[in-house]
Amino acid sequence: MTQEKITVENINAPDQLVQVRADKYQDMHDAILKALPDSAPGSTFNEIVETVKIHLSPKLFPDGKSSGWWAKTVQLDLEAKAQIIRSNTKPLRFYRA
């Protein structure tokens, strides 16, 4: 049985498109948007990784396994698609567009 795929972008490498599992992408996409605030200053990436875990499907991410990789992949894609904004702070912070 083959998994449905989705193409993701990377704001740091605009010419690089990657195919990933659609079910895991969508679950993480929804979790990130639930976890992020609507305005600056936003959340750090580490805060996002911790916060999304409560919103993830335990079937797709048992014990949060691989959630960090998926959070980074989806975060970069959402930035490329202008759905989230990166604040120019240290550490970097993100919020919904």
Question: What's 13's domain CATH number?
Answer: 1.10.10
* Number of domains the chain is built from: 1
Inform me whether the pLDDT recorded for 1 exceeds 70: no
- Encode pLDDT of 30-43 as tens digits: 999 999 999 999 99
What are the angstrom distances between the C-alpha of 33 and each of 2, 4, 15, 16, 29? 27, 22, 25, 23, 6
Torsion 76-82-88-93 (CA) sign: negative
Which domain does 36 fall in, by range? 5-96
Model pLDDT for residues 11-64, shown as the tens digit of each residue: 999 999 999 999 999 999 999 999 999 999 999 999 999 999 999 999 999 988
